[in-house]
Structure 1
């Protein structure tokens, strides 16, 4: 099926691993949520957000939800009684507590993904200033990155404009959540709304977001819905004209790989291979080869046959990057500057893998030439085409994902610490959190979490953050402070909502049912939502399974989804995950 093939295209370069995110797992225990947290010590310590059923209700400010917003009613599945889900807290509450002076600000939340390789639809063009190298950008041949590739555009729009936004809307709370339609046909507009509202209908009415559907980022109805500011997950070019909670450029840099390397946080030793300047001539004025290529493709591209100054610039800058890769002994990790969905990371452990990587990066249609072709006078100062080559952390004994919320004073609100799982190719496949270990893990990572929160807060960011940390048995050198030695190495910094952020907020829902573990993961299945729910009717009615996001491609007769499952223990959880996956395939984000 086209849908399944496109969703499962990996980001690897000839067998090299380009990281993908497919699932996350959490095990719940004895923590309680204190929704009015206080510092456990002086500034620099953690604010603790524990997990209970206590819920502080905040009324939406400004105008009341208009009738044209998404109507979220209880789902109507004949003969199936789905329980109402009550979150322990929501993003709306976390934002209000994070900045008391802005507690009355009505935030509109944008959770969509973006793409720099192809327009998602006519109203959501590709990013050309704030570049992202997701899997399609890195791996899909340039000739397929075109408006005429309807299958690719549809598959990306389903994930970026519906599946991912639904997942974050689930935990947004009573705030306006801006959703963008797949396209503007009446049938699609209605289907987009139906899928999102059905997903959110299982939430307690006091925690349901107000859905605002519009064609694209340039057409957000701010005044109509009384929205004061926009907060967002991923930088989209079209958001530049709105009042925002934080700078687009700053946010892009905070999430960049070079930004992490320069952060002062304890990261593996690395080299940043920067690109100087930008192509000196536009495709229209460079040479005949550029003009001919521009007429036949949507993606700006400087072809290998270019005989003008832009071709020479690409040749010079490519040689710099390829030389750095060639001279680096294995093992090492290569990362694109800015990625989304886990793409753009190559783990190179053998000389053969290194040779394959060099071959791919030097190819006429490879990710390096595609990326260099997108550097412009407007974005070159952010160094979007830089690559980062880092040491591989030796003999890690723990792989953790820390999730927390950063307040405006730089204090973090601890949400969860997950222990991450990888497959045989070192690709991330999930996370497990055991709440009986949370106290110890909190104490172990509170200093690192505070350092990270202070770093992002200094750049004006307030909101959710996730960091991936590798722990080693002995202290090793990092890039920080001229060789800081530590057991904890930050390998990724995600200044945004994470795919697993819903899980800490669902603790009360699961533990009330005697379920100590839970997991969320992406799947593709044949058929629609109702068939899936009926297949797992018992689990749905018991509250041990529910849909976090769902989108059915009726033309293909298949759906993509995020589901959440719960179990009494880790063994039971893994068994349930395996049973669900037996009849589905993983979604590669």
Structure 2
């Protein structure tokens, strides 16, 4: 007997938000992906211009990373798109899948997984889903017959020739922690160490070693405590909280390899984008929240939601938690910083979804990070009506990603009552296989869990955690 999932109505979608103040979502086509540490699928070539750092990423094989970043997480980011076309990058077939495709034709499993995620939304809010097999052949057409304006979650070399709301270079700089220090937004006291090498000089191993030593010596001599950041990193990768000498030693052990990799990513195409730097930030008392807004075509900020961030034991982002009863209060609290953020990004030509990590320390609001794109907690904010207003579930947590054995059907059987009551919502899912002959099924899920109060919510979170693959 199948699970009878309730249809979900989001509070709003990007389709509606892009219509505000004279916008036109009909001209848009969305591409969502988190740039992986290496090339994990033939559909997504590695970047050489718009480079990203992943210094403390977990060492998964390519197929697992593809199912997390091109599959479940990409679906979860675009869950809020509405009827705007959404394009995900295809995932390569395994050897067995390639062999079986010679015998019969079927829709690839990751594509079925994605459509199944979106099918839980009411029909008017379902994205029009497509997949990018070859970026060279990706030419999205708007109803007008012209090329659509591509809204990419992050700048990618392979999409850089397509039209966008802003150029990929401007977008890359808006996402840069290096440029954020110079943005004029309120930030903790910060110092930036940039490379003195030219693109030609990074070909010289001795110069790279000397420059790496200069960067590492700066980390060794910095007074404790401090926060160290790479200029282009995602989901907490590339951010080091250094409180003790033990923390410093662990950080330096990683930097010994990663600094040289970052330096060697410098080339003639990206030198003007400052991809090689370290940001040293004073550690202030207080905690940060994930604050989501939408900037309209006229630069007006629209409050979406504010969430607490969930950070795992490795210091990486693994979800968010929302107290829906406090959203109006939090929107007003952070309104002054919201206005400054919107003014800054709009001055660069950007409008659309974005978020920021904001903290309050000694009465002052500080922008810790600026995420000028769809954020991980955006969907959580827009499920307030589903959870709080319709079901009295005033707390909710996004868990992302959740690795588990088995397929989605097995997960649904285990949590049938929670799914059918709307207490648990799947916003991203991708299945894969591993082991000898890739015969063992596993899944990567992005799941939102609701509860009447925090304790009830956490009880269900713990039940979901029980099915996670322990690492």
SS state of the match for residue 383, structure 2? helix
1:518 and 2:396 aligned: yes
**Which stretch shifts more, 463-472 or 521-530?**
463-472
Partner residue in 2 for 1:90: 13
Aligned length: 453
Quick one: distance in 2 between partners of 1:79 and 1:353? Answer: 49
Is the Cα–Cα contact under 8 Å of residues 319 and 377 in structure 2 kept in the other structure?
no
Q: Deviations over 1:432-461 (max 9, x none)?
A: 332332333222210111001110111111
Residue 575 of structure 1 is matched in structure 2 by 459
**Which residue matches 1:113?**
34
CA contact (8 A) 1:112 1:161 kept: yes
- What residue number does 1:557 align with? 441
Aligned to 2:158: 238
- CA distance, structure 1, for counterparts of residue 392 and residue 331 of structure 2: 24
Q: Which moved more, 1:215-224 or 1:181-190?
A: 181-190
Contact 1:279 1:310 in 2 (8 A): no
* Alignment CA distance shift 1:264-1:513 (3 Å): same
Aligned twin of 2:262: 371
> Which of 203, 212, 228 pairs up with 1:334?
228
Cα offset, 1:139, TM superposition: 6.7
Q: Which residue of structure 2 aligns with residue 71 of structure 1?
A: none
Q: Is the 8 A contact 1:134 1:341 kept in 2?
A: no
Aligned to 2:64: 155
1:488 matched to 2:397? The reply is no
Write the distance in 2 (CA, Å) between the matches of 1:139 and 1:500.
22
User: In the alignment, which of 245, 249, 256 is matched to residue 351 of structure 1?
Assistant: 245
In structure 1, what is the Cα distance between the partners aligned to 2:405 and 2:191? 45
The CA deviation string for residues 451-497 of structure 1, in whole angstroms up to 9 with x for no partner, is: 0111011111111111112222x25xxxxxxxxxxx22221111111
1:199–1:548 Cα contact (<8 Å) kept: yes
Q: What's the offset of the Cα at 1:197?
A: 0.8
Where 2:80 maps in the other structure, the secondary structure is coil
Runs of 5+ in structure 2 lacking a partner? none
2:376 is paired with a residue of what secondary structure?
coil
- Does the 8 Å contact 1:277/1:380 carry over to 2? no
**SS at the partner of 1:512?**
helix
Partner residue, 2:194: 274
Whole-angstrom distance in 2 between the partners of 1:428 and 1:113: 13
Distance 1:568 1:268 in 2: 36
Q: Deviations over 1:43-96 (max 9, x none)?
A: xxxxxxxxxxxxxxxxxxxxxxxxxxxxxxxxxxx3421111111211111112
Aligned residue for 1:259?
179
Mapped to 2, the partners of 1:168 and 1:96 lie a distance apart of 20
Q: Distance in 2 between matches of 1:360 and 1:278?
A: 24
Q: Distance in 2 between matches of 1:109 and 1:169?
A: 8
Secondary structure of the 2:375 match is: coil
Displacement of 1:134 in angstroms is 2.3
1 CA distance for matches of 2:425 and 2:279?
A: 39
Extract unaligned runs of 5+ from structure 1.
1-77, 141-150, 282-301, 303-308, 476-486
Could you tell me how far apart the structure 2 residues matched to 1:468 and 1:553 are?
Answer: 33
* Pair 1:81 & 2:4 matched: yes
Q: Secondary structure at the match of 2:19?
A: helix
Q: If the length of structure 1 is used for normalisation, what is the TM-score?
A: 0.73
Give the Cα–Cα distance (whole angstroms) in 1 for the partners of residues 27 and 75 of structure 2.
20
**Which residue of structure 2 lines up, in the alignment, with residue 417 of structure 1?**
306
The 5 A counterparts of 1:106-255 are: 106-115=27-36, 117-135=37-55, 152-183=61-92, 185=98, 186=101, 190-223=108-141, 228-255=148-175
Partner of 1:287: none
Give the distance between the partners of 2:252 and 2:410, measured in 1 at CA. Answer: 46
- Cross-structure match for 1:465: 354
Question: Residue by residue, what CA displacement relative to the aligned partner does 1:108-166 show, whole Å, maximum 9, x if unpaired?
Answer: 10011223x42222332111111111257x675xxxxxxxxxx6211221122111221
Is the CA contact (8 Å cut-off) linking 1:255 and 1:494 kept in structure 2? yes
**What is the root-mean-square deviation of aligned Cα atoms in Å?**
2.3
TM-superposed deviation, 1:538: 0.7
TM-score of the two chains, using structure 2 as the length reference = 0.90
Q: Kindly tell me: are residues 183 and 581 of structure 1, through their superposed partners in 2, closer, same or farther at Cα, counting changes over 3 Å?
A: same
**Aligned 8 A contact 1:134 1:342 in 2:** no
